Amino acid sequence: MAAAAPPPAPTPAPEPDTPLPEVQRHPLFTRIRLATPSDVPHLHKLIHQMAVFEKLTHLFSATESSLSSTLFSSPPFLSFTVFLLELSPSPLPPLLHPSPFPPLLRHLTLDYPILDLDHDRDTFVSSPGSGSGTGSDVVVVAGFVLFFPNYSTFLGKPGFYVEDLFVRECFRRKGFGTMLISAVAKQAVKMGYGRVEWVVLDWNVDAIKFYEMMGANVLQDWRICRLTGDALQAYGNYNLIAEDK
């Protein structure tokens, strides 16, 4: 007689689901506002960092004094205008002084505390006039864009020319450059201007791709012509009056 089959093994009790570790989210509050004369020390440092990045420190001669005396002599948007990008882990406090340009605010959420990676944080704490806060509410300057009006005779309209766009290294590839250039474009549309234009170094492939993704046309058949230094000064005594014969 055949032996009976052994009873089936007991079904193991289901183990409780192990919860996945919760991903910690880190809020980041951004503001784009008009720069003021009190921001000049930060601007000067940002411009120097930009010169280092572009390998053009041999051309850098700006001083805080020269920036102060030339950047803020006219109303914004009618001449040289600077937008500053500020970041904070907490909601940004209101500006202490009224501004002709309502600041542009945005709330982001990141996977890591980006401000903790800023080794120059203390150097770039925003000026008191911006409502910079203290402690965990500190506001840090992360970048800037400098622009001014130009004119297109073909369009028959003014536009904006962007002289400089710069985001500090630890804050790149997070969309902050897009935010700054978008703020300029938004103001151009508001004022009925025809275009916004700028130049880019030919070796800066990442920047070229970034601008093309934004919808900008990178013009291959134009070159920059510049008179500066001794070549410019030589025209100081140039005689434009035709001599009698």
> What is the set of active-site residues?
211
Other beta carbons within 10 Å of 197: 14
Q: How do the residues of the chain divide into helix, strand and coil, expressed in percent and rounded to 5?
A: 30, 20, 45
**Single-letter amino acid, residue 202:** D
Length of the chain counted residue by residue:
245
Tell me the two tokens of residue 4. 């009976």
3-state secondary structure of 153: coil
